[in-house]
Chains A and B, each alone.
Chain A
Amino acid sequence: IAGITQAPTSQILAAGRRMTLRCTQDMRHNAMYWYRQDLGLGLRLIHYSNTAGTTGKGEVPDGYSVSRANTDDFPLTLASAVPSQTSVYFCASSVLGRDSIYEQYFGPGTRLTVT
C-alpha cells in the first residue's frame, strides 16, 4: 500500500505559469486536504474535500483551485503562479465518519519555487 503519493517532488516554475500538483491516495479515504507549509507559519489549509464531488475553501485559498472527480485524486492547480506561492505543499487524507474525525495521513510533499 503506497498511502498518499504526490507529484512532482519538486518544481521550479516561472511566475505567470499554470501548474497542477497531483495527489493520489489508495486508502479509500473520503476526505482529502491541501496544506502549504512556510517557515514560521506552520501548515495552513488551502482547500479540502469531504467526499468526491465536493470541495471547500480553507484558510488560504486565493490563487488555488481544486477538483475532486473521484475518491482517490485531489489535484491542486495554480492558475497563474506568483512568487508568494513558493512553499512546500502537502496533501493529506482521512476517513470521515458520522460525528467522528479521524487522523489525517500526509503525503511526502511537493517543494515549489516560483521565480
Chain B
Amino acid sequence: GESVGLHLPTLSVQEGDNSIINCAYSNSASDYFIWYKQESGKGPQFIIDIRSNMDKRQGQRVTVLLNKTVKHLSLQIAATQPGDSAVYFCAENNSGGGADGLTFGKGTHLIIQP
C-alpha cells in the first residue's frame, strides 16, 4: 500500500513557542486522517482527527490542517509545554468507512527545550 510519511524525524522547540509537525501522504483516496501522541512506554493516544471534506479542525491547543492538493497534513500545537514532549504520528485511513486499520507515518519526536 501507499505510505504516510513525515518530513522531519526530530523537532526541537522552546517551551511556550508554537510547534508545527508535518506529514505527507501519497494515497489520494485517503479520506480520514488522525494525529496520535505517544509517550515513552505507552500506547498511542488520540489527539485530533480530520476528514477529507475539511481543511482545518481545531481542538484544545491543537489544530490540524489538511491540504489535499499537495497531500499534506500538519499538526500545530500552541504554546508548547513540557508535557507535549513525545513522538507524534500521523495516520490515514482509505477504506471508505470500513475498519481495516490505519496506515501510520514513522513519527516525529518533539522535544521541548526549557
> Which A residues lie at the B interface, using CB under 8 A?
4, 30-31, 33, 35, 40-45, 48, 50, 56, 58-59, 90, 92, 94, 96-101, 103-109
Contact = CB atoms under 8 A, between A and B. Distances in A.
A17 B54 CA distance: 48
Contact of B101 (A42, A45, A105): A45
Contacts of B103: 45, 59
B27 to A, nearest CB: 13
What interface size band does chain B fall in? Answer: 20 to 34
Nearest to B47: A103
Interface in B26-41: 32, 34, 36, 41
A31 B106 contact: no
A96 B100 CA distance: 10
Contact of A44 (B36, B97, B104): B104
B94 to A, nearest CB: 10
Q: Which of B34, B100, B105 has the most CB of A within 10 A?
A: B100
Contacts of B100: 45, 48, 50, 56, 58
Given A31-B99, A98-B97, A99-B97, A90 B43 contact: yes
A61 to B, nearest CB: 11
Contacts, number: 70
Interface in B63-114: 89, 91, 93, 95-107
Secondary structure of the A side of the interface?
A: strand
Interface in B19-61: 32, 34, 36, 41-46, 49
A81 B17 CA distance: 46
Given A33-B99, A43-B91, A48-B100, 13 more contacts: A33-B101, A42-B104, A42-B107, A43-B104, A45-B100, A48-B99, A48-B101, A50-B99, A50-B100, A94-B99, A96-B99, A106-B44, A109-B41
A41 B44 contact: no
Contacts of B105: 42
Given A42-B106, A98-B97, A103 B44 contact: no
